[in-house]
Amino acid sequence: MKLAPIPHNEIERQSAITRMRIATFDAEPELDRITALARRVFDVKSATITVLDHDRQIFKSRANFNMTESRRDISFCGHAITQTEPFVINDARNDDRFCDNPLVVCNEPIIFYAGMPVYHHEGHPIGTLCIFDNKPREMSQRDIDNLKDLAYLVDMILLLRFAQFSQKRLLQNLDDAVRQSMIDPMTGLWNRRGLDEILNRELAPEGAPVPEPLGVLICDIDHFKHVNDTHGHLIGDEVIINVAETLKTRLRENDIIARVGGEEFICIIPGISREMTPKIAQKICDIIRNSPIETSEGTNLRLTISIGATWISPDMGTVNRKPVFETADNALYTAKYSGRDRVVFNTDIVENRPEGLLEQQ
């Protein structure tokens, strides 16, 4: 039997697992859906999402599998995390590395195994999505591709979970004075300083490519000066609070929303596709238009907003912060001066500069 090797970047890998707080047995419904789907797609006995901790493998999500952990040194997944492609064992009984493995010579043996590494957003393999059976199996190229795609979905779920946790952790770690300086008091959203801080700390460190696709929306309330002039600043404040609540309820908890001007908001949406970015923006526009605000004056006030949107992905390499915002801002300008109450979407980043992604304007 060949024991599972230790990856060359084990220290960094374990550090990533610690920061993610994933080496637990807490239920993760999103991950459970992936393992259940994997079991159905490949028609195998069991599927798991496994975290390779120091001396054990933790079965973070399980489909038709009762164990919660086992020794790492005898694990199949310990071999799989050293690979960049799916690690496939068609019949472990005929493989010198596993034929006398305790997981093979037992009452409920693992005969077939296929595992694809899943990654922390910095690129460290933290575990696997794996499927296994008690009889020999073959994997077609289509099967290989499907397993890789499902593992990528696990990567995205873990990243979104981490981004959500990161915002909460940042708030918890700040003392009251600093926290107040990073939160917009009217809406409870991040302000410009808070937006920069959460981006720099967790999602898009300076000088690094984005770890996943990001949608960037700059939203501006149409004719807001007219609202203030006609109804007064108190009603104007109610309008801002209402729009902020709409953004918070229509976007996900892990999405980053900031109020960066009087009537201007920035939304950073991780893990979104290029095609979905303008659709989400248009949905927000439609909701605002079709949801009159009942003001404290007892009147119904109809509003519209304009949105400039862009999208970036890891494939673009290192993209600097200022031009990304400038691209979305230019799109917003076009939306404003072509009639308002609309979305303009542009992915042609205006230029690259050496300051780092999404740098403060």
Q: Which residues are known to be catalytic? A: 263
| Whether 345 contacts 192, CB under 8 Å | no
Alpha-carbon distance 38 to 171, whole Å? Answer: 36
Q: What does each C-alpha distance from 171 to 99, 203, 258, 319, 359 come to in angstroms?
A: 51, 15, 14, 27, 21
| Whether 244 contacts 189, CB under 8 Å | yes
| Whether 198 contacts 229, CB under 8 Å | no
Count of CB atoms situated within 10 Å of the CB of 108: 11
Q: What does each C-alpha distance from 88 to 83, 136, 145, 350, 356 come to in angstroms?
A: 11, 11, 13, 45, 40
Alpha-carbon distance 314 to 222, whole Å? Answer: 33
For residue 58, give the nearest of 85, 31, 94 by alpha carbon: 31
Alpha-carbon distance 193 to 35, whole Å? Answer: 39
| Whether 351 contacts 324, CB under 8 Å | no
| Whether 309 contacts 331, CB under 8 Å | yes
